[in-house]
Amino acid sequence: MSAGPNVPGATPLLQARGLNKRYGRVTALDHADFDLYQGEILAVIGDNGAGKSSLIRALSGALVPDAGEIRLAGSPVAFRSPLDAQAAGIETVYQTLALSPSLSIADNMFLGRELRRAGPLGTICRMLDRKAMQRIAREKLTELGLMTVQSINQRVETLSGGQRQGVAVARAAAFGSRVVIMDEPTAALGVKESRRVLELILDVRRRGVSVVLISHNMPHVFEIADRIHIHRLGRRLTVIDPKAYTMSDAVAFMTGARAPVEVAA
Ligand SMILES: Nc1ncnc2c1ncn2[C@@H]1O[C@H](COP(=O)(O)OP(=O)(O)OP(=O)(O)O)[C@@H](O)[C@H]1O
């Protein structure tokens, strides 16, 4: 059983050691380490190009690292695709959202995990259970207080940027049973919509699910993160407690203006 970082000897829920990834001459990950504990919000911050997206893509199965190890609840895992990570309870909201614009909100919520109608004698038949998917999608979105759209059958291409973000975040929050990873979830949002997403993240933590939040928004990071992983030049530089440091301290670490402290992971 994993537990929080303050418990001596706790096993991280999701851990990486020595991740490497090169793109030709560019080193995106350079012996990167990572620790996420159960029920915490861990922010990952760093300058543009520091390797934050590459790190979370490796943790969510979207990128296969050249070297290094990933462990989930103490056991090594080798995700070959995001579906492998999803099956292990890890959901991700990518910057690019990965929604299908021509499909409806409900279809997007269930993309890749469609529900099918029960056949005779409890067998699963090939027919999609659209009614159930629409009902559950509506319930999830209402529960999460995220949607102001008229119909669950509305095509995603007809939604605003903020509403699309809402669908992507809701999908991850609804299905991530262990870890929800969010890459800049509030970047395209207005003040009110950002607030809803932050509340949603706190809600996900309340359910005991861990959250990884990649963000350039320092006030958001300092408001909700339990710990802050600072990434620099392809690796973890340090991890800080937001209660013990200021935003200026964090920026100084990020940009190399200040030397790192010991990793408190
Ligand atoms: N598919 C790719 N092909 C070539 N280079 C890549 C690729 N993906 C990332 N890189 C490079 O790897 C480095 C790390 O990129 P990454 O996107 O992980 O950084 P980041 O910290 O998420 O940046 P940002 O904050 O700008 O999104 C960058 O130099 C980037 O140009």
Q: Which helix (H) or strand (E) holds 93?
A: strand 90-93
Residue located nearest, by CA, to atom 18 of ligand 1: 51
* Beta bridge pairs of residue 30: 20
pTM of the predicted model as reported, rounded to 2 decimal places? 0.86
Q: Per-domain residue ranges for the chain?
A: 14-255
What is the torsion angle, in degrees rounded to the nearest 10, for the CA atoms of residue 77, residue 78, residue 84 and residue 85?
60
Nearest CA to ligand 1 atom 31: 49
Q: What lines the ligand 1 site, CB under 6 Å?
A: 23, 26, 28, 46, 48-54
Distance separating alpha carbons of residues 225 and 190, to the nearest angstrom: 20
**Which candidate, 25, 55, 2, 15, places its Cα nearest to that of 230?**
55
Q: Which of 20, 26, 27 to mutate to test the pocket of ligand 1 (most atoms within 8 A of CB)?
A: 26
- Specify the CATH number of the domain 14-255: 3.40.50.300
Q: How far is the CA of 21 from the centre of ligand 1 (A)?
A: 10
Residue 66 Cα to ligand 1 midpoint, Å, equals 15
Closest ligand 1 atom number to CA of residue 46: 21
Atom of ligand 1 nearest to the CA of 55: 18
Distance, CA 250 to ligand 1 centroid (Å)? 21
Alpha-carbon Rg for the chain in angstroms: 19
- Note the pLDDT tens digit of each residue in 147-174: 555 677 888 888 877 777 778 888 888 8
| Local confidence pLDDT in tens for the 265 residues of the chain | 444 565 557 899 999 999 999 999 999 999 999 999 999 999 999 999 999 999 999 999 999 999 999 999 999 999 999 889 999 999 988 766 677 888 888 888 888 778 887 777 666 667 888 888 888 888 877 776 665 556 778 888 888 777 777 788 888 888 878 999 999 888 877 788 788 788 888 988 988 899 999 999 999 999 999 999 999 999 999 999 999 999 999 999 999 998 876 655 4
* Per-residue pLDDT at 2: 45
What's the rounded Cα separation, in Å, for the pair 242 and 10? Answer: 20
Give the Å distance between the CA of 231 and the centre of ligand 1: 12
Predicted confidence at residue 17, as pLDDT, reads 98
ipTM of model = 0.96
Cα–ligand 1 centroid distance for 160 (angstroms): 27
